[in-house]
Amino acid sequence: MTSPLESLSEGLRALAARSPLADVEHNVRAMVAQALSRLDLVSRAEFDAQARVLARTREKLAALEARVASLESAGGRESD
Query: pLDDT tens-digit profile of 22-45?
Result: 677 778 888 888 888 888 888 999
- pTM beyond cutoff 0.85: no
CA distance 64 to 56: 12
Give the per-residue pLDDT at 1.
65
Distances (CA, A) of 7 to 4, 20, 21, 34, 63: 5, 22, 21, 37, 72
Query: pLDDT tens-digit profile of 39-67?
Result: 888 899 999 999 999 999 999 999 999 99
* Total residue count of the chain as it appears in this document: 80
Give the per-residue pLDDT at 15.
72
Query: Which residues make Cβ contacts (< 8 Å) with residue 16, sequence separation at least 6?
Result: 22
